[in-house]
Amino acid sequence: MEGSLASDADEPTRRDFLTLAGPAFFAVGGAMTVWPFVHQMNPDAGALALASVEVDLAPVEEGQAITIMWRGKPVFIRHRTKKEIDEARDVKLTNLPDPQSDTARTKAGHEKWLVLVGICTHLGCIPKGQSLGDVKGDYEGWFCPCHGSHYDNSGRIRKGPAPRNLEVPPYQFQSDTQIKIG
């Protein structure tokens, strides 16, 4: 008799099944109830379409800069001269508050194009330096008139309260004269 009691205790009972299945059904039902509310918070197709922008660089001549909007932010695109590229590469990284080489801020094979988010990293003002008549600061790049941050022609902070370099957005070249930002 003792042998049969031991084997009955090892067998699962209806109560064991209900103890495991009840919370599992509750969890699945809860997830199915919550999913539509979570899913509706995802961006719609129109918002996703704005997540990237294509820019034709063919009309931008050497030495010129353009500003486009991407995700509600200005993006500076500058067609740099050989002199500007050489000056940016000659800067010693030890002289920079936020050390980053010029080659790390551009795409290989397309170093003449500099693409930056045009928002000062101090308090979010838009630096001057895109137009021909703008003050470009002490380092011939960009100057933030709000609090006096100076950026060089690679968008690196050189002087002032800004803690970081101007941000480089995610971008890729579709061709030699076409880029996709985002």
List of residues 6+ apart from 179 with CB closer than 8 A = 54, 55, 57, 77, 113, 115, 171, 172, 173
Straight-line distance from the first to the last Cα atom of the chain, in angstroms, rounded to the nearest whole number: 75
pTM over 0.85: no
Confidence class of residue 8 from pLDDT cuts 50, 70 and 90? low
Name the phi and psi angles at 69, rounded to 5: -105, 135
Letter for the amino acid at 46? G
More confident residue, 45 or 98: 98
> What pLDDT, on a 0 to 100 scale, did the predictor assign at position 2?
52
> Which residues face 76 on adjacent strands?
67, 116
Catalytic one of 39, 79, 122, 147: 147
Give 114: exposed, middle or buried? Use CB within 10 Å, 0-12, 13-18, 19+.
buried
pLDDT given for residue 41 in this prediction: 79
The secondary element (H helix, E strand) that includes residue 67 is strand 65-70
With 90 as the cut, is the pLDDT of residue 29 above it? no
The mean of the pLDDT values for the chain is: 87
The question of whether 110 is a catalytic residue gets the answer no
CA 38/CA 53 separation, integer angstroms: 27
Dihedral through CA 89, CA 95, CA 100, CA 101, nearest 10?
Answer: 20
pLDDT band (50, 70, 90) for residue 134:
confident
Per-residue pLDDT, 101: 94
Cβ-Cβ contacts under 8 Å for 148 (sequence gap 6 or more): 159, 160, 161
pLDDT tens, residue by residue, 62-98: 999 999 999 889 999 999 999 999 999 999 999 899 9
Q: What is the model's pLDDT at position 75?
A: 94
- pLDDT of 99: 94
